[in-house]
Amino acid sequence: MDTIDRILKLMENQQMRQSDLARIAGARSSSVSDWFNRKSASYTKYLDKIAKHFNVTVDYLMTGEEPVGKLPQGAIPVDASKFVKIPVIGSVRCGEPMLAESNIEGYEYTYIETLRGGGDFFYLRAKGDSMINAGINEGDLLLIRKQSDVNSGDIAIVNINGDEETLKRVIKKDMAIILQPENPIYETKIFIGKELEHIHIQGRLMNVVKKF
């Protein structure tokens, strides 16, 4: 169940129509229709008003993890307009290369200031332990900005031979690319000459969301 599903359930409990929700949120009826048809995520700008009407928290609407009810005394309200919904796409193994799953397994609401520099972003879920010395552990969410090149020293998702993807620190040398793990028990891989034709950078690691 996602945010829209939770809003729909609350609307059903009050026998509300989409036009009623549009009036409550102060949004256009066409925009509300796009929300429920999964054509737009602009509803994030209106979650404060929607949550207030249904007497729930914004966190409940976004995650379903907060209990229904008023904000606890002393709690700081969340400004939903400062968050965007980023897809979580499959996973990447930080030990050995693996195929990244192409389907979206969920969404993570991300503070807009985190998306510095703009661009297209997605999350991958880390597996393995080859990047532990860079603070990346099994289960962490990796915020990736899509880009086909990175600076030497950046950590990136790299596609190898068209079907293998791995997370490594990219070191650039003359006519060579080094994929360096951050765990001494794993081997550093060096690609030179024509081997470089099989190395394709998919995106740069921008942030790590710790999962405990």
Domain boundaries, the chain: 3-78, 84-209
Residue located via tokens 């690319």: 177
| Residues 66, 3: Cα–Cα separation, whole Å | 13
| Residues 147, 120: Cα–Cα separation, whole Å | 8
Catalytic, 127? Answer no
The per-residue pLDDT for 167 is 93
Residue located via tokens 């700008």: 45
Amino acid at 47: L
| Residues 164, 141: Cα–Cα separation, whole Å | 19
The CATH class for the domain spanning 3-78 reads: mainly alpha
Q: Which long-range contacts (CB under 8 A, 24 or more apart) does 11-20 make?
A: 14/54
The set of residues, in sequence order, having a beta carbon less than 8 Å from that of 202 and lying 6+ positions away, is 144, 146, 148, 156, 157, 158, 159, 165
pTM for the model = 0.61
| Residues 41, 36: Cα–Cα separation, whole Å | 9
Catalytic pick among 33, 42, 102, 130: 130
Catalytic pick among 91, 168, 189, 194: 168
- How do 121-127 and 83-93 pair as beta strands? parallel
3-state SS class at 145? strand
196 touches 104 (CB < 8 A): no
136: left (phi over 0), alpha (psi -120 to 50) or beta: beta
The per-residue pLDDT for 73 is 54
Catalytic, 168? Answer yes
Q: Which CATH superfamily includes the segment(s) 84-209?
A: Umud Fragment, subunit A (2.10.109.10)
**Per-10-residue mean pLDDT, the chain, length 212:** 87 88 91 88 88 85 66 59 80 51 71 82 89 92 93 94 85 94 95 92 92 64
The per-residue pLDDT for 113 is 81
| Residues 124, 139: Cα–Cα separation, whole Å | 9
Handedness of CA 39, 83, 168, 199 (dihedral sign): positive
Residue 85 φ/ψ, nearest 5 degrees = -95, 120
72 touches 56 (CB < 8 A): no
Amino acid at 130: S
The per-residue pLDDT for 83 is 81
Amino acid at 39: K
